């Protein structure tokens, strides 16, 4: 591998600059089960291994196709050699023979076959020839892909990172990202991922700079090599030179000073020049963020993604554990409200012990309230825990992934049964709990008026609303160019939802990633929303712009934008308008 600097560009998903040493997220990080197989299970195990190999070959073909489009000859050669490794007889036969003869599971057999290959390499201290070193890295890369495909996408890896690491991975789940909480990881880069994936959202809430969507990145880097990532621009530099490190250290300092300056005005009220007040609340994934929520002066928690508690293993499904957590958050946030969203499991959020949720098309499967109503003991426990904690603060309960009225009515029925139960045991709960629906599917948007008469508030989830309306997987970087928050269909739906909510006089919050981007603020303000809920660190920047806008002008601006026919036209109009105001970076 060369030590010349190499420049790459991906999607910036979490701001900030990080300079550090690479931690390649690979097979040695993976722990896998080892078990003996009963005779009848051998055929199924062989099939599982065959499928993992096929998936690996399919992944590599996809990467190669993309590289061909960009005529990236050097990288194409690397992928072709990866394809050869994935077809290697010693590896493949070595695994199948072990499954059959030793009657062991596929991961174990595959690991033994991999070790057999590595044993043929010269010992590490002799391995100074570049050929062996590169070949070793390539085999490690491919075997890691195969092992990951065998284990499935939701494998949990307990990893110890060195201080100052920047993780480079094919893909990271929100669970993997949450493990970076400990502070040893400075940032990460992945080959897969989209701007509103939950991995990106967790990165932002942990304030870890991140870039996603750089094809074949893992085969371009070596463990412990130096790397710079810029989470604002998406730029990544491998093997940076001294002057580049100095340049990015300065950029880091500049960003830090900008942030510090913004914090000085964070305490000011969130009000427009013509006196329209809109609440700026925070989205929260883990209770560890409470400090940040205070620091950035959030007016409450507009979205608490409770499923992250389960994913991070901080809390079990038990009523006691949950009650304790909710009490603490409500108490610490008082007098501001806390919007506790019931588990939005499914999609890309599947805890290890719920692999039953895996399906070919998870975003359209048992997700959110659908899952909670099917496994209704989980919803029952969660609601009971929320009710018991509710006397400690201002509680709002939010239902995710609603597509029809019945879902809301079933939740209301369960809530009143639990209340009755609590009353009979003389357990107190607040009478002022508000119930809300997430409007994040086109069907919910279309029936917003009817939904508005069933609930106390709406929370618009644009991350999903965009995904489902435009038929664009929010996780998939291949179609990220189609993920357009400013698509006329989205603006018109937002207008429709807000008109429905305002006509019924209920609060309307917007808690998708759009809320934290100053670019969209004029439009969101014009919609008449009562709250914007975003990643806490975005609040000061959004507030600064909000305080220089007029509500009346924003309404007029929105009317103009609603007449335009493409996202590009709306974006240019917005950018032109924004030039009148000072917006940082
Ligand atoms: C959304 O869909 O916009 C949202 C806020 O929920 P999540 O990102 O957790 O799906
Ligand atoms: Mg959502």
Return all residues near 371 (Cβ < 8 A) that are at least 6 apart. Answer: 343, 345, 346, 357
Whether residue 556 lies inside any domain: the answer is: no
Q: Are residues 290 and 359 in the same domain?
A: yes
Domain's final residue, options 151, 177, 198? 151
What is the distance in angstroms between the CA of the first residue and the CA of the last residue of the chain? 35
Q: Are residues 456 and 386 in the same domain?
A: yes
Q: Are residues 247 and 282 in the same domain?
A: no
Whether residue 112 lies inside any domain: the answer is: yes
Q: Are residues 230 and 140 in the same domain?
A: no
Whether residue 583 lies inside any domain: the answer is: no
Q: Are residues 348 and 210 in the same domain?
A: no
- Distance in angstroms (rounded) separating the CA atoms of residues 376 and 412: 13
Mutational test site, ligand 1, from 307, 461, 534, max ligand atoms within 8 Å of CB: 461
45 neighbors 229 (Cβ within 8 angstroms): no
Nearest CA to ligand 1 atom 4: 461
Whether residue 581 lies inside any domain: the answer is: no
Q: Is any atom of ligand 1 closer than 6 Å to the C-beta of 45?
A: no
Residue-level pLDDT at 62: 77
Taking the centre of ligand 1 as the mean of its atom positions, its distance from the CA of residue 458, in whole angstroms, is 13
Angle of helix 106-119 relative to helix 89-102, nearest 10 degrees?
Answer: 130
- Distance in angstroms (rounded) separating the CA atoms of residues 531 and 439: 14
Tens of pLDDT, residues 512-567: 999 999 999 999 999 999 999 999 999 999 999 999 999 999 999 999 999 999 99
Nearest CA to ligand 1 atom 9: 305
Its pTM stands at 0.79
Nearest atom in ligand 1 to the alpha carbon of residue 459 is 5
Ligand nearest to the CA of 513: 1
Residue-level pLDDT at 366: 87
- Residue 413 sits in a domain of what CATH number? 3.20.20.60
Q: Are residues 459 and 542 in the same domain?
A: yes
Of 23, 170, 498, 511, which residue is the catalytic one?
Answer: 511
DSSP secondary structure string, 313-357?
Answer: TSS-S-HHHHHHHHHHHHHHHTTSEEEEEPP--BTTB--GGGGGG
Taking the centre of ligand 1 as the mean of its atom positions, its distance from the CA of residue 187, in whole angstroms, is 23
Task: Give the sign of the dihedral formed by CA 556, CA 559, CA 565, CA 568.
Answer: positive
Whether residue 560 lies inside any domain: the answer is: no
Ligand nearest to the CA of 341: 1
Taking the centre of ligand 2 as the mean of its atom positions, its distance from the CA of residue 531, in whole angstroms, is 17
Mutational test site, ligand 1, from 364, 463, 469, max ligand atoms within 8 Å of CB: 463
Q: Is any atom of ligand 1 closer than 6 Å to the C-beta of 347?
A: no
Residue-range definition of the domain harbouring residue 253? 6-25+159-259
Residue-level pLDDT at 167: 95
Q: How many CB atoms lie within 10 A of CB 110?
A: 27
Return all residues near 190 (Cβ < 8 A) that are at least 6 apart. Answer: 168, 169, 170, 171, 172, 199, 210, 211, 212, 213, 214, 217
Taking the centre of ligand 1 as the mean of its atom positions, its distance from the CA of residue 89, in whole angstroms, is 45
Q: Is any atom of ligand 1 closer than 6 Å to the C-beta of 307?
A: no
Ligand nearest to the CA of 509: 1
Whether residue 494 lies inside any domain: the answer is: yes
Q: Are residues 308 and 329 in the same domain?
A: yes
Nearest atom in ligand 1 to the alpha carbon of residue 440 is 2
Residue-level pLDDT at 482: 94
Q: Are residues 21 and 64 in the same domain?
A: no
Give every residue of the chain whose pLDDT is below 50, as ranges.
Answer: 1-2, 125, 355, 585
Q: Are residues 437 and 514 in the same domain?
A: yes
Q: Is any atom of ligand 1 closer than 6 Å to the C-beta of 464?
A: yes
Q: Is any atom of ligand 1 closer than 6 Å to the C-beta of 463?
A: yes
Of 198, 336, 487, 498, which residue is the catalytic one?
Answer: 198
Tell me the sheet residues that pair with 208: none
Residue-level pLDDT at 1: 44
Nearest CA to ligand 1 atom 3: 461
Q: Is any atom of ligand 1 closer than 6 Å to the C-beta of 204?
A: no
Q: Decide if 563 is catalytic.
A: no
Tell me the sheet residues that pair with 21: 165, 226
Domain's final residue, options 92, 116, 151? 151
Taking the centre of ligand 1 as the mean of its atom positions, its distance from the CA of residue 548, in whole angstroms, is 28
Q: Are residues 458 and 324 in the same domain?
A: yes
Q: Is any atom of ligand 1 closer than 6 Å to the C-beta of 440?
A: yes
Return all residues near 376 (Cβ < 8 A) that are at least 6 apart. Answer: 414
Taking the centre of ligand 1 as the mean of its atom positions, its distance from the CA of residue 114, in whole angstroms, is 40
Q: Is any atom of ligand 1 closer than 6 Å to the C-beta of 436?
A: no
Q: Are residues 249 and 283 in the same domain?
A: no
Taking the centre of ligand 2 as the mean of its atom positions, its distance from the CA of residue 490, in whole angstroms, is 15
Taking the centre of ligand 2 as the mean of its atom positions, its distance from the CA of residue 530, in whole angstroms, is 19
Whether residue 564 lies inside any domain: the answer is: no
Whether residue 561 lies inside any domain: the answer is: no
Q: Are residues 293 and 175 in the same domain?
A: no
Q: Is any atom of ligand 1 closer than 6 Å to the C-beta of 511?
A: yes
> How many domains, in total, are found in the chain?
3
- Residue 203 sits in a domain of what CATH number? 3.50.30.10
- Residue 86 sits in a domain of what CATH number? 1.10.274.10
Is residue 534 classed as helix, strand or coil in its secondary structure?
Answer: strand
Q: Which residues of 228-247 are buried (b: 16+ CB within 10 A; e: fewer)?
A: bbbbeebbbbbbbeeebeee
Q: Decide if 511 is catalytic.
A: yes
Nearest CA to ligand 1 atom 6: 461
Is residue 3 classed as helix, strand or coil in its secondary structure?
Answer: coil
Ligand nearest to the CA of 303: 1
CA angle 129, 135, 138 (to 5 degrees): 140
Return all residues near 146 (Cβ < 8 A) that are at least 6 apart. Answer: 52, 53, 56, 86, 110
Domain's final residue, options 95, 122, 151? 151
């Amino acid at each position: 591998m060369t030590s010349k600097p190499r420049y790459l560009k991906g999607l910036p998903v979490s701001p900030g600059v990080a300079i550090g040493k690479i931690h390649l997220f690979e097979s040695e990080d993976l722990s896998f089960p080892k078990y003996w197989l009963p005779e009848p299970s051998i055929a199924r195990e062989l099939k599982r291994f065959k499928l993992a190999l096929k998936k690996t070959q399919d992944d590599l073909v996809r990467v190669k196709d993309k590289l061909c489009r960009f005529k990236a000859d050097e990288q194409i050669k690397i992928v072709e050699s990866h394809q050869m490794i994935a077809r290697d007889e010693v590896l493949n036969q070595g695994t199948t023979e072990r499954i059959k003869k030793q009657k062991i599971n596929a991961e174990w057999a595959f690991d033994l076959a991999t070790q057999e290959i590595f044993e043929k390499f010269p010992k590490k201290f002799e391995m100074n020839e570049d050929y062996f070193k590169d070949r070793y890295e390539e085999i490690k890369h491919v075997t890691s892909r195969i092992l990951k495909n065998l284990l499935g996408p939701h494998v949990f890896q307990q990893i110890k990172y060195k201080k100052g690491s920047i993780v480079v991975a094919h893909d990271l789940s929100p669970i993997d990202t949450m493990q970076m909480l400990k502070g040893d990881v400075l940032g990460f880069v992945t080959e897969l991922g989209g701007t509103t994936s939950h991995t990106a959202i967790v990165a932002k809430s942990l304030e870890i700079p991140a870039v996603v969507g750089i094809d074949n990145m893992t085969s371009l880097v070596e463990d412990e090599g130096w790397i710079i990532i810029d989470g604002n621009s998406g730029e990544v530099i491998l093997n940076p030179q001294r002057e580049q490190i100095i340049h990015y250290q300065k950029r880091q300092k500049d960003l830090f000073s900008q942030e510090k300056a913004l914090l000085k005005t964070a305490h000011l009220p969130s009000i427009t020049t013509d006196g329209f007040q809109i609440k700026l609340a925070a989205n929260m994934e883990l209770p560890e963020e409470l400090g940040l929520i205070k620091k950035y002066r959030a007016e409450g928690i507009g979205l608490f993604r409770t499923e992250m508690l389960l994913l991070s293993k901080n809390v079990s499904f038990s009523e006691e554990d949950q009650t304790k957590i909710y009490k603490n958050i409500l108490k610490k946030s008082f007098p501001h409200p806390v919007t506790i969203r019931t588990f939005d499991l499914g999609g890309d959020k599947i805890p290890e012990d719920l692999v039953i949720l895996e399906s070919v098309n998870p975003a359209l499967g048992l997700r959110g309230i659908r899952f909670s109503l099917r496994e209704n003991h989980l919803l029952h426990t969660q609601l009971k825990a929320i009710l018991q904690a509710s006397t400690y603060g201002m509680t709002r309960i939010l239902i995710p992934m609603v597509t029809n009225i019945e879902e809301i009515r079933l939740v209301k029925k369960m809530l009143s049964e639990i209340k009755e139960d609590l009353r009979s045991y003389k357990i107190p709960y607040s009478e002022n709990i508000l119930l809300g629906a997430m409007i994040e599917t086109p069907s919910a948007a279309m029936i917003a008026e009817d939904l508005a008469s069933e609930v106390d508030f709406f929370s618009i989830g644009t991350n999903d609303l965009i995904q489902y309306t435009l038929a664009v997987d929010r996780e998939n970087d291949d179609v990220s160019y189609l993920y357009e928050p400013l698509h006329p269909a989205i603006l018109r739906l937002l207008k429709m939802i807000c008109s429905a909510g305002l006509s019924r006089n209920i609060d309307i919050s917007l808690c998708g990633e759009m809320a934290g981007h100053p670019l969209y603020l004029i439009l969101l303000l014009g919609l008449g929303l009562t709250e914007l809920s975003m990643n806490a660190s975005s609040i000061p920047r959004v507030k600064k712009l909000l305080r220089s806008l007029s509500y009346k002008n924003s309404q007029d601006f929105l009317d103009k934008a609603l007449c335009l026919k493409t996202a590009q036209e709306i974006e240019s109009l917005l950018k032109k308008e924004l030039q009148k105001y000072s917006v940082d970076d």
